[in-house]
Structure 1
Amino acid sequence: MSTPITSMQKEHARLLDNSAASMTISGADMTPGEFAGVAWVNLTFTGCVFAGKGNIRLSATRDCKFIDCRFLAPEHDFGVMTQVTFSHCQSVGRSIVSGGDGSKGVLFERCRFSGGGAAPESHEGIGSTGETVFRQCSGAGEVLVGGTKLVIDRCSFDNMTFVAGRQARHGTPLAAVVLIDDSQGTGRWRMVDCRTKKTHVQNSSFDEIVSDNSESEWDEALSLAP
């Protein structure tokens, strides 16, 4: 089932009823809708636009796909994300597209991030405070987040900021595993207020990595194999 932008008004009910029935939403501008306190399950968004400040505040997102979508400097909370994939998506401007504690299976694949510069004090960004994987992504000037696990696989980033784990002064402490493989970093990579228990880097090169107020432990024995 495809849902063109002209039909979104009547289809909003499906996005507000916590239903598990699968549905594909195509070419929709999600900015006008208000989606708060509900779960999105078994939804596929293709070619959609997400903008707005706080109009998406979900309790959970499960088994959802975002394909060829554009995120135009939004501030969205997708709740606890489970098996959620963003493929060939693009962010433009400072974007917050986040999942909460306990998120698993969050994958950004072949996405392009064009951020708005340095991390804000809240250190929110794109990713989740659970397990987040960035695979074959590129971009500059954005903040990428992984709470308990942050994987950067075959990516190319310029002047990016990363938040891995969470220190006590930002809430409940989280210690992250960080895996970086076959990736290139140009400009300055900033690891801001990170709290990591293991970090492993292989087959990668960087101009500069700056660890700002981070608590980290480097472990070369950690395997990147799943």
Structure 2
Amino acid sequence: MTTPITSLQKEYIRLLDGSSAAMTIAGAHMASGAFVGVSWKNLTFVGCDFAGDGNIKLASMSGCKFIDCRFLAPHHDFGVMTDVSFTQCSSAGRSIVCGGDGSTGVLFQACSFDGGSSAPAAHEGVGCMGEVTFRNCTGRGEVLVAGTRLTIDDCRFDHMTFAIGRQRRRGTPLAATVLIDNSQGSGVWRMVDCRMKTSHIQNSSFEQIVNDSSECEA
């Protein structure tokens, strides 16, 4: 059972003050707090539940770790993410957990994503609009997002949607370098309005890949 973050006085204040002192927040339910326009630095979340719709809209996040956390159909904006890792975390329901342009060093390790029975055609989801790696992850029916670099390593995904890069019609254009290694795709992998510099696939197999108006940078 998780405890509402507002009931954890010390942790709640630390999440609002923007300081860089390291702290671990364990067993908290994050839906009851409102964190808008602040920066999170050097925080470790262990066994926490993230739900709610838009109550977390950060300016930036750096040096943070999420371990064994659950994302329960949230819609959260983590701002510019730098050196942020998610380890053995899971999502249930359609989740938007994303960092902004210029994010670097974002890692999802041994995570599972369950967005539903089929992947929606959307441009928002789990990842960041910068550089992101998914390693040893599994998923079904979710949208994975990358801006300038996407690495998928040793993953198993079924009926997933990928929003990679950004075409001009959706704002400032971004082109991504894509590497997929030792991964398996079942069902349909849907590439939605993607914009890529290069795409390198090795030691991998897929049942079906569908490109919906995707493009490669000339």
Q: TM-score range by the shorter chain?
A: over 0.9
Equivalent in the alignment of 2:120: 119
1:81 partner amino acid: M
1:88 partner amino acid: Q
Q: TM-score, normalised by structure 1?
A: 0.92
Are the aligned partners of 1:4 and 1:25 in contact in 2 as well (CA < 8 Å)? no
Are the aligned partners of 2:158 and 2:188 in contact in 1 as well (CA < 8 Å)? yes
Are the aligned partners of 2:119 and 2:140 in contact in 1 as well (CA < 8 Å)? no
Query: CA offsets, 1:110-138, max 9 Å, x none?
Result: 000001343354x1000000001000000
Indicate whether 1:63 and 2:63 are aligned: yes
Equivalent in the alignment of 2:33: 33
Are the aligned partners of 1:159 and 1:186 in contact in 2 as well (CA < 8 Å)? yes
Equivalent in the alignment of 1:189: 189
Which has the higher mean CA deviation after the structures are superposed, 101-110 or 111-120? 111-120
Aligned length: 215
SS, match of residue 177 in structure 2: strand
Structure 2, unmatched stretches of 5+, are none
Equivalent in the alignment of 1:110: 110
1:200 partner amino acid: H
1:52 partner amino acid: G
Task: Report the CA distance shift for 1:105/1:196 in structure 2 as closer, same or farther (over 3 A).
Answer: same
Are the aligned partners of 1:5 and 1:26 in contact in 2 as well (CA < 8 Å)? no
Identity %: 65
1:217, CA displacement in angstroms?
6.5
Q: TM-score, normalised by structure 2?
A: 0.95
1:5, CA displacement in angstroms?
5.5
Q: Distance in 2 between matches of 1:130 and 1:82?
A: 10
Structure 1, unmatched stretches of 5+, are 219-226
Equivalent in the alignment of 2:85: 85
1:169, CA displacement in angstroms?
1.2
CA RMSD of aligned residues (A): 1.7
Equivalent in the alignment of 1:176: 176
Query: CA offsets, 1:130-182, max 9 Å, x none?
Result: 00100000010000001000110000000000011000111100000010000
Q: Distance in 2 between matches of 1:57 and 1:9?
A: 20
1:10, CA displacement in angstroms?
4.2
Equivalent in the alignment of 1:74: 74
Structure with the higher strand share, 1 or 2? 2
1:9, CA displacement in angstroms?
3.7
